[in-house]
Amino acid sequence: MKDSTRAVLGVLVALALLVGAALWLGRDTGDGGRTVVRLRIWDQSFVPAYRDSLDEFQRANPDVEVRITLVPWASYAQKLRLDVAGGIADDLFWTSLYEDYADSGHLMDIGAALGGDAARAWDPAAVTQFTRNGTLWAVPQFVDGGTALYYNRDLLERAGVDPGTLAGLRWSSEEGIDTFRPLLRQLSGVAPWPYNAANDFQSILLPYLGSAGGRFQQDGRFAFASEQGRDAFGYLTRLIADGLSPSAADTNNSSDFAKNAFLQGRMPLFQSGTFNLATVQQSAGFRWGVALIPAGPAGRVSANNAIGLSGNTATAHPEAVRRVLAWLGSAQGNRYLAMDGNTIPAVVSEQQLYRDYWAQRGIDVSPFFDVLRGEQISAGGGAGFQAAIQAIFPVFDEMFLGRIPVTDALDRAQAVGDKAIDQQ
């Protein structure tokens, strides 16, 4: 055989292999002719729990195989947007900001798919978050719970602070009422930064804005450039300017800077959510606990964000997708997310599993739940919200760096946010 003939045959074989691989990767049937349903998430730590749950589902539904697709958080939103527009998104995918997809007809109507009674099992705040124009667009999977105050008991003792006093703290722009800043000054003697005031949307900005009596969004427009907003963000930026929290030059560019400082024993108070609980439990080399966040002029207010699972209307297997949604929204299917203490399941009847997991390890997680008994603040949403947030947060970064006065920054950020919504 001539060399030229061998070359041609080699190319043909390679092409055949490539085509075969492409067909296999894109096929809709698994081994034994099972229907393949693909589920997209952004967090590797959830894969074991989902795999256990889906394995049980598949034992009862041997004709369906569910494969998990992992897309890192940093690129998740952009890739999902492109894939949905191109008609190649997975059959099911995690979502938080879902409104644009719902309005463009890309999401399944959950009530129509699972029945109107299905939502009764789920966390009411999560149901509200994923309901738009009277229609539910996602099956809630887990909730973050409220924001709380992680504390380093060893550092508090060195500063002569009883952890029991944390529950009575108040922040205020009025010096005679404020008890939080004086405590931070006391703690500054035992650590470089007593606290983590920063441009942290869920754990810092929303609780302070809400506890000042303000709102982030109202009637589809941004509403944080208010007297309450000026009080909340003014208080936070002063903590940074006074050296009671890390420089925004560090925290703006690293969402983990404050968490790492706390874990390294360089920060006695770290305000955050349940999503950091497992990391603190695994990595803290000191005695620690969880307390309620400081109360503001309007009391203690927290957000309670949820992640939902949406069905893609472009799926080739709507009935199989419906069955998977029903399973992952059931008590049996959803409880797996609580078994390792990783997150709070959205099925209310299974949330006690999460509490029990941490109680068995000596951790009282009640502050994450107790803060939600009163007023809650919405993180906002609606068509164009994601684009608006991308316009707002660079202005907030400059405000926390001290380059733009708080009043000017809030006015500017609100204007660019509303403009981004108007352009959708």
7 within domain boundaries: no
- Fill in the amino acid letter for 341: G
Residues 113 and 236 in one domain: no
Nearest to 220 by CA among 136, 132, 108, 307: 132
Count of the separate structural domains present in the chain: 2
- At 135, which helix (H) or strand (E)? strand 135-136
Q: What is the pLDDT of residue 29?
A: 58
Residues 288 and 415 in one domain: yes
Nearest to 149 by CA among 208, 213, 200, 195: 195
Residues 77 and 57 in one domain: yes
CA distance 379 to 72: 22
Distances (CA, A) of 174 to 52, 151, 234: 52, 25, 12
Nearest to 371 by CA among 142, 203, 177: 203
Residues 408 and 369 in one domain: yes
Residues 326 and 296 in one domain: no
Could you tell me the two tokens for 376? 């809650």
Residues 234 and 281 in one domain: yes
| pTM higher than 0.75 | yes
Distances (CA, A) of 90 to 6, 39, 41, 107, 212: 40, 6, 10, 12, 41
CATH of the domain at 276: 3.40.190.10
Could you tell me the two tokens for 95? 């979502």
Could you tell me the two tokens for 409? 């920054």
125 within domain boundaries: yes
24 within domain boundaries: no
70 within domain boundaries: yes
Residues 158 and 296 in one domain: yes
276 within domain boundaries: yes
Residues 155 and 274 in one domain: yes
CA distance 363 to 342: 14
CA distance 65 to 57: 9
Could you tell me the two tokens for 47? 């894969």
403: CB partners within 8 A, 6+ apart:
none
User: Residue 118 is part of which domain span?
Assistant: 31-144+305-346
Q: What is the pLDDT of residue 8?
A: 40
358 within domain boundaries: no
Alpha helices (runs of H) in 284-317, residue ranges in sequence order: none
CA distance 263 to 257: 10
Residues 335 and 229 in one domain: no
CA distance 281 to 364: 12
Q: What is the pLDDT of residue 32?
A: 66
Distances (CA, A) of 374 to 21, 146, 218, 270, 283: 55, 11, 19, 22, 32
CA distance 232 to 205: 8
Residues 176 and 278 in one domain: yes
74 within domain boundaries: yes
Could you tell me the two tokens for 402? 């001290």
10 within domain boundaries: no
In order along its 424 residues, the chain shows pLDDT tens digits of 444 444 444 434 344 443 343 333 344 555 668 999 999 999 999 999 999 999 999 999 999 999 999 999 889 999 999 999 999 999 999 999 899 999 999 999 999 999 989 999 999 999 999 999 999 999 999 999 999 999 999 999 999 999 999 999 999 999 999 999 999 999 999 999 999 999 999 999 999 999 999 999 998 899 999 999 999 999 999 999 999 999 999 999 888 999 999 999 999 999 999 999 999 999 999 999 999 999 999 999 999 999 999 999 999 999 999 999 999 999 999 999 999 898 999 999 999 999 999 999 999 999 999 999 989 999 988 888 989 999 999 999 999 999 999 999 999 999 999 999 998 7
Residues 278 and 313 in one domain: no
27: CB partners within 8 A, 6+ apart:
36
Residues 264 and 398 in one domain: yes
